[in-house]
Copies of this chain bind each other. A is one copy, B any other.
Amino acid sequence: MPLSNLTLVNECDRFPYPESDPTAYLSRVNTYYQLRVADHDYALGYMLPSVAEVFRGIPSWHLDDDEGTLTLTAGSTAAERSKAVGNTLLAMRETGHFKVLNKWRNELYAVYGKNKELLFNIERSASPLLGVVTYGVHLTAYTRSQDTGEIKIWTPRRARTKQTYGGMLDNAVAGGIASGESPFESLVRECSEEASLAEDLVRSKARAAGTVTYYYIRDERAGGETNLMQPECQYIYDLELPEDVTPKPGDDEVEEFYLWSVDEVKQAMENGEFKPNCALVVLDFLVRHGFLHSENEENFVEIVSRLHRRLEFPTL
């Protein structure tokens, strides 16, 4: 049974919408704890009660069951808050509280406030525990035939040994944005690391093309605890590669790059071979380049909106 494009969207953008399904939305947000920092009266993410519970009684944190909030009380600067968050998470890692912390990355993600100010940094592997918005870059590399104009899309398969989404298809380049790094500089770095693409080529030819935003809920394929909430913002880039340039795996994360026609890519999408968020980036590419439109996709209007979900937390 081929997966429809709307099914692919539903498998990544999983959190209910308040205006169209208020019951499902409210039953979740009334159950979850809001993550906050002191003196900022708004949510930065939703946390499972089972996760929030672990913060009860820990210095620097205040769990309020009546309000349904977990508040970081320590620190009044980003540096102070980051240190408090780091200390808590390191301790939790050592006591083995959370499986996701076993994949400790030593990479810091940024959490922003309503004025786009940095509130604190958080170890990457811990971000889904707190449910905060994370940022990444995704690049679609493609070729355009000089003769026919046909577009083909470079599509990597993730190493089958990779612990998350092993063997699934990916976008040409994708990675998380470290705190303090700009999207474009992150892209240049990832293009080199993941696809061995020359820096000057990327700087001169990669083109920004918007964002893809969605509200993911993790399942077993992501590794670690399931049902953690992961609102994400991916900065999208296109890169038309000369036909004589071939992306090559720069590390052991990619098994192989395929150069596929749009129909081959669509087939793999239907087969559910793409990592969930990468499928959304493919859909956005197909929409922007006119391959997917109102005459061949019955859920076109819904899909285009869902690829650009407005997240309910502050974003950069």
Interface residues of A (CB under 8 A from B): 17-20, 22, 25, 116, 182-184, 207-211, 213, 233, 235, 238, 287-290, 292-295, 298, 300-302, 304-312, 315-316
Contact = CB atoms under 8 A, between A and B. Distances in A.
24 contacts: A17-B312, A18-B18, A19-B25, A19-B310, A20-B310, A183-B293, A183-B294, A183-B295, A184-B295, A208-B287, A208-B293, A209-B287, A210-B304, A211-B305, A213-B304, A213-B305, A233-B301, A235-B294, A301-B315, A302-B310, A304-B308, A305-B309, A305-B310, A305-B311
A293 B235 CA distance: 9
Nearest 4 CB-CB pairs, A to B? Answer: A208-B293, A19-B312, A308-B308, A207-B290
B309 A210 contact: no
B310 A306 contact: yes
Q: Copies of this chain, how many?
A: 2
A316 to B, nearest CB: 6
A238 B290 CA distance: 9
Nearest to A307: B308
Contact of A295 (B20, B182, B287): B182
Given A18-B18, A301-B233, A208 B308 contact: no
Given A294-B235, A308-B308, A302 B315 contact: yes
A184 B300 CA distance: 14
Nearest to A235: B294
A306 B184 CA distance: 22
A287 B210 contact: yes
Residue from A17, A307, A308, A316 whose CB has the most chain B CB atoms within 10 Å: A308
B310 A182 contact: no
Contacts of A298: 116
Nearest to A237: B290
Given A184-B295, A213-B301, A306-B310, 14 more contacts: A18-B19, A20-B312, A182-B294, A183-B293, A183-B294, A183-B295, A184-B294, A208-B290, A209-B290, A210-B287, A211-B304, A211-B305, A238-B290, A294-B316
A211 B300 contact: yes
Contact of A288 (B22, B209, B301, B302): B209
A305 B313 CA distance: 13
A211 B300 CA distance: 8
Nearest to A290: B207
Contacts of A295: 182-184
A309 B301 CA distance: 10
Nearest to A22: B18
A95 B245 CA distance: 70
A23 to B, nearest CB: 13
A71 to B, nearest CB: 20
Contacts of A311: 305
A193 to B, nearest CB: 20
